[in-house]
């Protein structure tokens, strides 16, 4: 397999607010790729299906081989009742919680409030988690973001359904809807 290198390690959620799609998904997807590339050599003991394939896709071959050798040698066959948690999934969940808390604190900044009113996009899973952490005053704004994006996606899907010709643009709407409903691919099991 050929490796796919990620060039930028984001330090803050603020750096990805103006990129397309859910800012939390974008940040976490990059975090996940960087973790699989850089931090994984000594930390990984268990991997889920997705992260096993992800490691093979983003890591250089010698490092991936070392990790897979260690997993082959040390991996015990679990009983049907026990399923060891994926180390990358656990790290991703902790980072997700940290970034949701970061976004809550960023919501006090004027430029983030402007982003929230004008261009914010959130997927349903992240909006749900964020909504649980914000004040009762901001919760309806999260609902509005979801409703507006849902309407936009519905329009795109109606156009795609009604004019599905091969030269028709808009096929990306299917991926945007999938992200909206379930978060970016690989962030949720």
Stated as kind and residue range, the H or E segment containing 153 is helix 139-162
Q: Are 21 and 175 in contact (CB under 8 A)?
A: no
Highest mean pLDDT among 31-40, 67-76, 154-163: 154-163
C-alpha span between 67 and 2 (Å, rounded):
16
| pLDDT (mean) for 13-22 | 90
Instruction: Report the interhelical angle of 87-106 vs 49-58 (nearest 10°).
Output: 80
Buried/exposed 29-56: b ≥16 CB within 10 Å, e otherwise: bbbbbbbbbeebeeebebbbebbbebbb
Q: Are 86 and 51 in contact (CB under 8 A)?
A: yes
Which pLDDT band, with edges at 50, 70 and 90, does 3 fall under? very low
C-alpha span between 22 and 20 (Å, rounded):
7
| pLDDT (mean) for 96-107 | 95
pLDDT in tens, 64-82: 888 888 888 877 666 667 7
Q: Are 29 and 187 in contact (CB under 8 A)?
A: yes
Q: In Å, how far from its chain's centre is CA 72?
A: 28
Answer yes or no: is pLDDT of 141 > 60.
yes
44 dihedral zone (left: phi>0; alpha: psi -120 to 50; beta): beta
- Integer Rg of the chain from CA: 19
Considering the entire predicted model, what is its pTM?
0.81
C-alpha span between 71 and 34 (Å, rounded):
20
C-alpha span between 27 and 43 (Å, rounded):
21
């Amino acid at each position: 397999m050929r490796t796919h290198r990620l060039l930028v390690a984001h330090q803050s959620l603020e750096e990805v607010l103006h990129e397309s799609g859910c800012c939390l998904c974008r940040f976490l997807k990059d975090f996940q790729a960087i973790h699989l590339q850089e931090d994984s050599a000594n930390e990984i003991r268990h991997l889920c299906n997705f992260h096993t394939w992800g490691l093979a896709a983003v890591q250089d071959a010698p490092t991936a081989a070392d990790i897979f050798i260690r997993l082959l040698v040390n991996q015990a066959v679990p009983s049907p009742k026990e399923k060891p948690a994926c180390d990358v999934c656990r790290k991703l969940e902790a980072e997700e919680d940290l970034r949701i808390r970061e976004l809550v604190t960023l919501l006090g900044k004027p430029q983030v409030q402007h982003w929230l009113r004008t261009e914010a996009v959130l997927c349903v899973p992240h909006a749900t988690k964020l909504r649980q952490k914000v004040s009762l005053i901001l919760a309806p704004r999260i609902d509005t973001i979801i409703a507006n994006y849902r309407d936009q996606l519905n329009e795109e899907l109606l156009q795609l359904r009604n004019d599905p010709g091969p030269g028709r643009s808009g096929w990306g709407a299917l991926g945007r809807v999938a992200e909206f409903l379930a978060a970016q691919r690989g962030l949720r099991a």
